[in-house]
A and B are shown apart, each in its own frame.
Chain A
Amino acid sequence: MSEETKHFDEDLDLRVSQKFSEDLNILFKPQFSIQPEVDRAVLDKAHQQFTPKHWGHRILRHINIWRIAAAAAVIIFAFSLNLTQKPGPTTSPSLLGEARAVDIDRNGRVDILDAFKLARYVESAEGTEKKWDINGDGLVNSNDVDLVASAAVRLDKGVL
């Protein structure tokens, strides 16, 4: 009992005489006896529940409830992370090097805009830098643009 409760319970205002308590108990506690069959019915149920077979099932069920709860918590946590984070890299390692090479605008994504950009470089003769020689044939031309476009389509969501 807490100190606060003790204080209330010891409140003189809330105290009663012994006779009052006794009379209340006589009025509200009938002297009926509980038949042994009732005890037996309750205790038989208990014994039934505590047999190794039933008890084992109950423990398993109890454990499973916690397992399911834990799994649900993990899924919810993972789902919440997924909602708050930007999509992560989905590109396979084999494509990663190629993808970095064809990310013309260096924005971390390879999409059709990279192909358009390279196409403009090629057309405007600005794209003569070696770094735009994607296929390594010594020339910067439409073949390189095709390669970028092809990579943009092959890379999943174009994310590096």
Chain B
Amino acid sequence: MSNVFIMDSDQELIELVNGGDVDAFETLYRRYRDWVYHLAWRFTGSPQDALDVLQETFTYLLSKFPGFSLTASMTTFLYPVVRHLSLTVRSKNRRFTSDEEMLSEITVPALKDTHSSRSELAAVLAVLPDEQREVLLMRFVDDMSLQEIAVALNIPLGTVKSRLHHALQRLRDDHRTKEYFLE
């Protein structure tokens, strides 16, 4: 793969891919591969399923060329795709679990961490309402801006802010996680 595209913006890469440049696609793939994989892992809770979702996500992206036009950021485009594909993979494996149960389950990390504050953080996150937890993780794990979250979830910006505010407030109020917020 050529390194000449490393500095190119997503938009520039997409234009090149629309013109048939496979190296530009590879750059795009390597740029978002880990991001997609981590998100898919969070949704599926399984490394193997996450790999399947990763492949399917980029196969879907490939199918959009030529003629693909990016109207927002790449993560905004990819987030709903990964989410949808993850839920599809999960429902193939667990037919009797509802989407809500899946979402609730998948965003809770395994408590293998021996660090007590991290374990407690995980425990508090586990009881957050799904929509609040999702926004919190999109902001601080997926590194998406509030505007990008709003577009990806198709909800108003004010709703994103409100959900995030409530999520952080619960963490501040909980004795197990309030140390994160002490000045």
Give A contacts to B, CB under 8 Å: 1-2, 4-5, 8-9, 11, 13-14, 16-17, 19-21, 23-30, 32, 34-35, 38-39, 41-43, 45-47, 49-50, 55, 58-59, 62
Contact = CB atoms under 8 A, between A and B. Distances in A.
Contacts of A58: 65-66
Contact of B20 (A34, A38, A55): A55
B147 A1 contact: yes
Contact of A13 (B33, B47, B125, B165): B165
Interface in B36-83: 37-38, 41-42, 47, 50-51, 54-55, 58-59, 62, 65-67
Interface stretch (B3-11, B21-29, B86-94, B95-103): B21-29
24 contacts: A2-B147, A4-B157, A5-B147, A8-B146, A8-B161, A9-B145, A11-B161, A14-B146, A14-B161, A16-B180, A21-B140, A23-B115, A23-B180, A28-B109, A30-B38, A34-B33, A34-B34, A38-B54, A38-B55, A41-B55, A45-B58, A49-B62, A50-B20, A55-B66
Contacts of A42: 29, 54-55, 58-59
Given A24-B121, A58-B66, A47 B161 contact: no
B113 interface: yes
B153 interface: no
A141 B161 CA distance: 91
A39 B47 CA distance: 15
Contacts of B47: 30, 32
A19 B125 CA distance: 16
A31 B50 CA distance: 13
A5 B165 CA distance: 15
Nearest to A42: B58
